[in-house]
Amino acid sequence: MAPGLGKRLLPIGLLFAASGPYGACFSMNRFAAEEGIPFLPYVFLYTAFGTVLLLAICAIRREWPRLTPRHIGVYCAIGAFGLAVPYCIFMIVANRLPAGIVSIGLTLAPLLTYLWAMLLRMDRFNLIRVSGIITGIVAVLLILIPAGALSEGADPLWVLFALLGPLSFSLAAIGAAYFQPKETTALEVGTGVMVAGTIMLVPILLGVGDWWFFPQGLTMGGWAVIISAVVNAYFFVMFQLIIRMAGPVVFSSNNFVTTLASVVWGMIIFSEQHSGYVWGAIALMCVGLFLVTRPANRPATAAAT
């Protein structure tokens, strides 16, 4: 294999390795919602369990998150925009939209991330990448515009509400690339982000006054909590690894893979059926992924060190 090709395929492989399991979380959200688990306790529990898992790994490896003011600021910023805010949004819409449709809007994240990257002089305008992002946007329009593309009972207003998730993710990706100290490891930052996100959810949880903790043991909703905890702990470490290796714009294209994975998981777990518009959108997403991950020359201005 040519060295250049291998270098290009590695980020794509990591995107699939990270986003394939992550796509299952949308189905886990639906299990929890259908069982009546309040969304804030659900999000809090799986982030808390995921945090405990990562802290255990840190203890085994003796590799703890650093606690300088700068590090803590990075953990809090990414924890807010990459975890607390978008996860609550997705849980709110979990029982209002099909698992596969919810993630379609995630394809907007690469466009938003690319715009932030150009504004911060972290990337230059690149026609191939822009074409890939536009392809992703067209895929979204294939879902939203045709009257029969949304499943019966799916309110387009809830779809638009779900689009606040990718906006938040784009801010997290840019923050991770621009402000993250280079001397940290992916495990350090991933753990710090999970800790920060969990802590941020505590006052929200107390303010709402809602709670749930396995009242009937390990039901499907309980397993959804555990599976989501493991997947999210894994994903946030991979998030840092891909950002370091390929940059925020390439990482944000994980949303294409997540969309495809969530549709597949929804079909396997819930036997969801989708129109031809959805399948056309998935095909366009694959094309968009190929274009967005093409190498692009970076300007001299880089992320903060």
> Helix, strand, or coil here: 283?
helix
Question: Is residue 213 in a domain?
Answer: yes
The answer to whether the beta carbons of residues 49 and 225 sit under 8 Å apart is yes
Cβ count near 61 (within 10 Å): 11
pLDDT confidence tier of residue 144, bands split at 50, 70 and 90: low
Give pLDDT, residue 165: 83
Question: Is residue 144 in a domain?
Answer: yes
Spatial distance between the Cα atoms of 244 and 303, rounded to a whole number of angstroms: 10
Radius of gyration of the chain (CA): 19
Question: Is residue 100 in a domain?
Answer: yes
pLDDT beyond 50 at 303:
no
Spatial distance between the Cα atoms of 66 and 266, rounded to a whole number of angstroms: 39
Q: Once rounded to an integer, what is the mean pLDDT over residues 53-58? A: 96
pTM, two decimals, is 0.78
Question: Is residue 30 in a domain?
Answer: no
Tell me what the pLDDT averaged over the chain comes to.
80
The angle, 0 to 180 degrees and rounded to 10, between the axes of the packed helices 24-34 and 3-22 is 0
The angle, 0 to 180 degrees and rounded to 10, between the axes of the packed helices 108-119 and 164-179 is 40
Give pLDDT, residue 8: 63
pLDDT beyond 80 at 49:
yes
Spatial distance between the Cα atoms of 188 and 207, rounded to a whole number of angstroms: 30
Give pLDDT, residue 298: 47
pLDDT confidence tier of residue 151, bands split at 50, 70 and 90: low
Question: Is residue 276 in a domain?
Answer: yes
Question: Is residue 8 in a domain?
Answer: no
The first and second tokens of residue 274, run together, are 């989708």
Spatial distance between the Cα atoms of 26 and 92, rounded to a whole number of angstroms: 11
pLDDT, tens digit, for every residue of 243-259?
888 888 778 877 777 77
Question: Is residue 17 in a domain?
Answer: no
Give pLDDT, residue 4: 57
Total domains in the chain come to: 1
Spatial distance between the Cα atoms of 232 and 209, rounded to a whole number of angstroms: 25
Q: By residue range, what is the domain housing residue 279?
A: 38-150+157-292
Q: Let me know if 87 is exposed, middle or buried by CB neighbors in 10 A (0-12, 13-18, 19+).
A: buried
Spatial distance between the Cα atoms of 211 and 270, rounded to a whole number of angstroms: 27
Q: Once rounded to an integer, what is the mean pLDDT over residues 100-112? A: 69
Question: Is residue 32 in a domain?
Answer: no
Spatial distance between the Cα atoms of 170 and 146, rounded to a whole number of angstroms: 27
